[in-house]
Amino acid sequence: MQKKYRLRDRSDFSRVYRYGRSFANHQLVLYVFHRPQVERFRVGVSASKKIGNAVMRNRMRRMIKEIVRREADRVIDHVDLIFIVRKGATEMNYDQLTKSVQHVMRKGSVFKQ
């Protein structure tokens, strides 16, 4: 994922958590916050220690970022997204996780019409 699509600052995460809307399924929670100042969409991934060790957390972050990168042309502009990984996602393979990410993104209406 390119730097301009990353959500990194603590203040940005806090803003999305506070003012954004959340959508969830059994594997993921998605926070969506519309920001006209942002050129394109930006993505952040949060994985707590509850889901596993550092290897597992980083693996989940990499997989979700790759899935979003492949769906980038379908995602609307001017929006910040945060994915929170739940324990159920660690037992999924790549294809199952792809469907789960797409499902929660559809629930959040972040795909272009």
CATH code where residue 6 lies: 3.30.230.10
pLDDT-based confidence at 39, cuts 50/70/90? Answer: confident
Helix axes 54-70, 94-107, angle to 10 degrees: 60
Q: What is the pLDDT of residue 74?
A: 94
Q: Which residue has the tokens 């999305």?
A: 16
Average pLDDT along the chain: 94
Alpha helices, H only, 1-112: 10-19, 54-70, 94-107
The answer to whether position 51 is within a domain reads yes
First-residue to last-residue Cα distance in the chain = 23
The answer to whether position 33 is within a domain reads yes
- C-beta of residue 69 within 8 angstroms of C-beta of residue 83: no
Host domain of residue 23: 1-106
Give the count of domains, the chain. Answer: 1
Residue 33 pLDDT exceeds 90: yes
Residue 110 pLDDT exceeds 90: yes
Query: Global pTM?
Result: 0.94
Strand order of the β-sheet with 28-34 is 21-24, 28-34, 79-85, 41-46
Residue 101 pLDDT exceeds 90: yes
Q: What is the pLDDT of residue 80?
A: 95
The answer to whether position 53 is within a domain reads yes
Please tell me which residue, 17 or 113, carries the higher pLDDT value: 17
